[in-house]
Amino acid sequence: MSYLIPDIPEDAPFSPEQRAWLRSYVGELIKSISAMQSCPPDAPTKPRALFLFGSQSGNAQALCEEFAENLSNDGWVPEVKGLEDHDKIDLANEALVLVVTSTWGEGDPPDNAVGFWEKFSSDDQAKLPNTRYSVLALGDTNYSDFCEMGKKVDARFIELGAERIAPRVDCDLDYEDPAEAWFRSVVTELEKIGTDTFLSSAGSSPGSAPAAAPEDLPYGKKNPFPAGMKHRYRLNLEPSPRDTRHIELSLEGSGLSYEVGDALATYPVNDPDLVDEILSILPFNTKVSVEIKDRGKILLRDALLECCDIRTVTKSILKKWAAMSYHPYLNASIEDDKAVAKILDGIEIVDLIYEFPVDFKTAQDFVAVLRRLNPRLYSIASSPLKNPGEVHLTVARVSYESKGRTRNGVASTFLCQGLEEGGSVKVFVQPTKHFKLPTDLSKDIIMVGPGTGIAPFRAFLEEREATEATGRNWLFFGNPHEATDYFYKEEFDRMHSSGVLTRIDLAWSRDQAHKIYVQDKIRENEEEIWNWLEAGAHFYVCGDAQYMAPDVEAALLDSIRKFGGMDDEAAAAYLEKLRAEHRYQRDVY
Ligand SMILES: Cc1cc2nc3c(=O)[nH]c(=O)nc-3n(C[C@H](O)[C@H](O)[C@H](O)COP(=O)(O)OP(=O)(O)OC[C@H]3O[C@@H](n4cnc5c(N)ncnc54)[C@H](O)[C@@H]3O)c2cc1C
Ligand SMILES: Cc1cc2nc3c(=O)[nH]c(=O)nc-3n(C[C@H](O)[C@H](O)[C@H](O)COP(=O)(O)O)c2cc1C
**DSSP element (H, E) containing 406:** strand 405-408
Decide: 106 in ligand 2 pocket, CB within 6 A. yes
- 505 C-alpha to center of ligand 1: Å? 26
Query: Which stretches in the chain have pLDDT values below 70?
Result: 1-7, 24, 27-44, 200-217
DSSP-derived letter for residue 418 is I
- 523 C-alpha to center of ligand 1: Å? 28
Q: 3-class DSSP state for residue 559?
A: helix
Domains and CATH numbers, the chain: 48-200 (3.40.50.360), 225-268+375-430 (2.40.30.10), 272-372 (1.20.990.10), 445-588 (3.40.50.80)
Q: 3-class DSSP state for residue 425?
A: strand
What pLDDT, on the 0 to 100 scale, is given for residue 446? 98
**DSSP element (H, E) containing 264:** strand 263-267
Ligand 1 atom 49 nearest Cα: 409
- 29 C-alpha to center of ligand 2: Å? 58
Ligand 1 atom 45 nearest Cα: 400
Decide: 113 in ligand 2 pocket, CB within 6 A. no
Among 61, 412, 542, the mutation site with the greatest number of ligand 1 atoms within 8 A of its Cβ is 412
Phi/psi of residue 168, each to 5°?
Answer: -65, 145
Ligand 1 atom 11 nearest Cα: 395
Cα–Cα distance measured from residue 393 to residue 389, given in angstroms and rounded to the nearest whole number: 14
Cα–Cα distance measured from residue 224 to residue 375, given in angstroms and rounded to the nearest whole number: 10
CA 570 to chain CA centroid, Å, is 28
Q: Which atom of ligand 1 is nearest to the CA of 455?
A: 8
What pLDDT, on the 0 to 100 scale, is given for residue 30? 63
* Chain segment 9-46, per-residue pLDDT in tens: 777 777 777 777 777 677 666 655 654 454 444 456 78
Q: Identify whether 210 is preceded by a cis peptide bond (ω within 30 of 0).
A: no
Torsion-angle region of 371 (φ positive above 0: left; ψ -120 to 50: alpha; else: beta): beta
In this structure, are residues 441 and 469 in contact, taking their beta carbons and an 8 Å threshold?
yes
Decide: 507 in ligand 1 pocket, CB within 6 A. no
Taking 3-state DSSP, the helix, strand and coil percentages for the chain, each rounded to the nearest 5, stand at 40, 20, 40
CB contact set of 541 (below 8 Å; sequence gap of 6+):
448, 449, 453, 548, 549, 552, 553, 585, 586, 587, 588
In this structure, are residues 530 and 524 in contact, taking their beta carbons and an 8 Å threshold?
no
Cα–Cα distance measured from residue 506 to residue 450, given in angstroms and rounded to the nearest whole number: 9
- 377 C-alpha to center of ligand 2: Å? 12
CB contact set of 450 (below 8 Å; sequence gap of 6+):
476, 477, 478, 479, 507, 517, 518, 543, 544, 548
What pLDDT, on the 0 to 100 scale, is given for residue 199? 74
**DSSP element (H, E) containing 247:** strand 244-250
Decide: 377 in ligand 1 pocket, CB within 6 A. yes
**DSSP element (H, E) containing 229:** strand 225-234
- 430 C-alpha to center of ligand 2: Å? 15
Cα–Cα distance measured from residue 148 to residue 108, given in angstroms and rounded to the nearest whole number: 7
Among 111, 345, 376, the mutation site with the greatest number of ligand 1 atoms within 8 A of its Cβ is 376
Decide: 59 in ligand 2 pocket, CB within 6 A. yes
Model pTM? 0.76
Four-residue CA torsion sign, 79, 85, 90, 95: positive
In this structure, are residues 246 and 416 in contact, taking their beta carbons and an 8 Å threshold?
no
Q: Which atom of ligand 2 is nearest to the CA of 589?
A: 1
Long-range contacts: 271-279, Cβ < 8 Å, 24+?
271/408, 271/410, 271/413, 271/414, 271/418, 272/305, 272/418, 274/310, 274/311, 274/350, 275/301, 275/304, 275/305, 275/310, 276/301, 277/350, 278/304, 278/310, 278/349, 278/350, 278/353, 279/304
Indicate which ligand has the atom closest to the C-alpha of 410. Answer: 1
In the sheet that holds 584-588, the strands lie side by side as: 503-508, 473-479, 445-448, 538-543, 584-588
Cα–Cα distance measured from residue 477 to residue 517, given in angstroms and rounded to the nearest whole number: 9
Cα–Cα distance measured from residue 434 to residue 542, given in angstroms and rounded to the nearest whole number: 12
Q: Which atom of ligand 2 is nearest to the CA of 546?
A: 1
Q: 3-class DSSP state for residue 244?
A: strand
CA neighbor of 96 nearest in space, from 174, 225, 187: 187
In this structure, are residues 166 and 134 in contact, taking their beta carbons and an 8 Å threshold?
yes
Q: Which residue type, as a one-letter code, is found at position 259?
A: E
- Can you name the residues that pair with 588 across neighbouring β-strands? 543
What pLDDT, on the 0 to 100 scale, is given for residue 144? 82
- Can you name the residues that pair with 308 across neighbouring β-strands? 372
Which whole-number Å values give the CA distances from 247 to 228, 239, 242, 299, in the listed order?
11, 21, 16, 30
In this structure, are residues 331 and 322 in contact, taking their beta carbons and an 8 Å threshold?
yes
Among 140, 173, 315, 378, the mutation site with the greatest number of ligand 2 atoms within 8 A of its Cβ is 140
Decide: 400 in ligand 1 pocket, CB within 6 A. yes
Among 398, 414, 419, 433, the mutation site with the greatest number of ligand 1 atoms within 8 A of its Cβ is 398
Decide: 378 in ligand 1 pocket, CB within 6 A. yes
DSSP-derived letter for residue 380 is B
Among 377, 382, 457, the mutation site with the greatest number of ligand 1 atoms within 8 A of its Cβ is 377
- 47 C-alpha to center of ligand 2: Å? 32
Decide: 409 in ligand 1 pocket, CB within 6 A. yes
Decide: 147 in ligand 2 pocket, CB within 6 A. yes
